[in-house]
Every structure is written in C-alpha cells, then in structure tokens.
Amino acid sequence: MRDIRTPRRAVSAAFALNGMLLGTWASRIPTVMENHGLSEGRFGLLLLVMGIGALISFPISGRMADRYGAVKLTHVIGWAYLLSVVMLGLAPGPLWLSGAMLFFGMCHGSMDVTMNSWATEVEKYLGRSVMSSFHAMWSLGAGLGAASGAAASWAGLSVAEHFVLAAIVFGAVLQWFAHVPWTSETQPHNPDASAFALPRGALVLVGLMALSSGAGEGAVADWSAVFLSGELGVTEARAALGLTVFSVVMVGMRLVIDRIVTRIGPVTVARISGLTAAVGLGLVVLSGWLPVALLGFALMGVGYAAIYPLAFSRAARDPVVPPGQAIASVATLGYSALLLSPPAIGLIAEIASLRVAFALLALLAIMISVLAGVFGQGRSVPLARGATSAE
C-alpha cells in the first residue's frame, strides 16, 4: 500500500500543528485570565514574556537548524511545543503561568524558524512555489485549534483538561505525518554570523509590511476572544468564533493567492489586501453586534492572507541581499510583530481600550497599501522544473 506520507504533507503537518497549538491556547485566553485573576495590563505583560521567549529562540534555532538539519530539529521542537501547551493548562498560579508562557513562546518561535527552513528545502526540491499552501495549513490549524476551544467550552472542559486532550490528539495524528525520509542540508557553524538578521535597503519596506501583517494576526490570535467577550458581551464559546472565522477565511485565500498574483500582479494584490484589512478592522472597532464584528474579522483574514507569502517572495528576489539572508531579515520583523503586538495591545487597552488598539492596527494596514509598490521591484527568479515525488 502506498504511503500517503510525503515530504510536502509532512511540512504541511508541521505547519498545521504549530497553528493548532497557538489556536488552542488563544481560544481559552479569557478563561485563563479569569482563573488567574489577571487584568488586561497584567496579561499583556505575560504576553510580552511569551514574545521575549520567541525572540530569544530565533537566532538559536536558526543556527541549530543550519548545523543539525531543519527536519530533525522540527521534530524535537514539535514534542516540546506539545508539552508547553500542557504546562499552560496545568499552571497553578501567575508565576508558574509566566514560566510556561516563556517556554511556550520559545517553542513557538523556534518551530516557526525550523519548519519554514524545511519548507524552503521542499519547495526548492519541487521546483515551484508551494509556500502559500504551507501557510494555509498553519491558518487551518489555528482555526481548528480555536474551534477546539469553542467545543471544549461547550462541553464544560476545564482549561487543563482541554489542553491535555488537545496535545494528545494533535500530537498523535500530526507527528505521524511529520516523520518521512528526508535529509536536510547542513553547514558548518559560522562564529562570525550575526545573531539577528535585520533588513536593509528596500527590504526595510518589505519588512515593515510583514510587521504590519504580523501585528494584525497577533492581535486576532490573542485578543479577538477578549474583545468579543468584553466589548460585545458574548459567551466564551461565541467569542472563539472571531479567530475561527479569521483563520478559515485566511486558509481559503492562501489556497488561491498564487493564481490571483499571476493574474493581477503582486502590487495590486498588496494594495487591495491592505485596504481590505483596514476596512475589516474598522468594522470590528465600530461594531456593537456579533455578526458585524465577525464580518470584520473575515475581511481581516482576506486582507492579511497574501502579505507574508508576497513578502517572502519579494525578499528572495532582492537584487542586493542574498535570498536566505533576505528572507530571514523580513521574517524577523514579521514574526516579532506577530508575537510582540499582543502585549502592546494589552498595554494600550489598559490605558485606553481595545477598540483604540484595533483602530491603530487599521493605520498599519493602510501602510501596507501605501508601500505595496516595493513588491513590484527586484529581480526575476524563474523556477526550475523539479521532481514530484516530494508531493
């Protein structure tokens, strides 16, 4: 019988697992805050701890992936990531929760680096662009994780019961898919390499667009449920629908992004995307009714879906900076915003309100449209015709 596990499906499974665990955690944030008696400001500081953990992990995991191989490291970190979710659920108090969030952030950030490195290897082997499909699987995973939160809340499961059950189910299914014969490229350790890759030249603009998109995605992941439950007064189960709708719409968009870009071009897609995300944020900010807010989150999913794939594609075509270094520098800004924007939003919410914080994100979305012209620059890199056995 033909083994359905292939390198492409294995990478997809890794992306889905990463998204599922983040979505699972995000879906129960209101309950976690209530259980530990945390205000928006105090919880924002804990999210900052999680973001710091991810930032610490970026350079470490990048160097280790180069030395030992992205595939091997992705497997190891995947198991650690499952453990970190269980630790979040079992944390008995705020101090323990902060330690669990630091570990969770490190696992999430390092797996982001290694699974994207593995994805690049598979994409290179196939000889055609498939990165958007991998990110679609991440979005699908985040949506399923959020849906598990709604189901667990409806079933009356505690956070600990939910997180332990999710770790067992997601781990059993997806870790099986992730194990395939694949040997990653490795290279000797370079002691003179910079610890952090920052963009320069035109890549600064590309990085700012990735930052804007990452800030929006991070806000939805960690604050959509809090916004819907606090500002609109809906139940916890319904509050989880914000992230679910956002993620499902983003999955659909990322499955068709390549065809849309081919038809109307990356600049037009980016301009429309930024404006769409801004309109969605406007609906969320002004909404007093759940269906309107959910429409806003759906439009945000449409608007943000294309930006990361376009940013990575543009980085790889940069005429000055080598592709690997360029992609790493753009990813640093994008993922940093994804992880650090939630604590910043918490602080803004403490000073003003969550509506004000989301309104500021709309300004960043408009900036995407303003800077979209940079996606039309860069050299052309034709894809070679590759093998299909990695499918």
Residue 39: predicted pLDDT: 84
SS3 202: coil
Helices 40-68 and 29-36 sit at what angle, rounded to 10 degrees? 120
SS3 193: coil
Q: CB under 8 Å to 192, separation ≥6 — which residues?
A: none
Name the fold adopted by 7-180+196-376.
Answer: Growth Hormone; Chain: A; (1.20.1250)
Contact 66, 186 (CB under 8 A): yes
Percent of the chain with pLDDT over 70: 85
Per-residue model confidence (pLDDT) at position 187: 55
Torsion of CA 196, 197, 198, 199, to 10 degrees: 180
DSSP 385: P
Average pLDDT over residues 264-272: 91
Q: How far apart are CA 35 and CA 46, in angstroms?
A: 14
Q: Where are the alpha helices (DSSP H) in 320-353?
A: 323-351
3-state helix, strand, coil in the chain (%, to 5): 80, 0, 20
Q: How far is CA 9 from the centre of its chain?
A: 19
The pTM (predicted TM-score) of the whole model is: 0.73
Tell me which residue has tokens 């040997």: 183
Provide the token pair at 330.
């753009």
pLDDT per position as a tens digit, 56-107: 787 777 777 777 777 888 888 989 999 999 999 999 988 999 999 999 999 9
- Structure confidence by residue, pLDDT tens digits, 169-200: 888 876 676 666 555 565 555 555 555 556 77
Quick one: pLDDT at residue 390? 56
Q: What distance in Å separates the CA atoms of residue 19 and residue 198, rounded to the nearest whole number?
A: 25
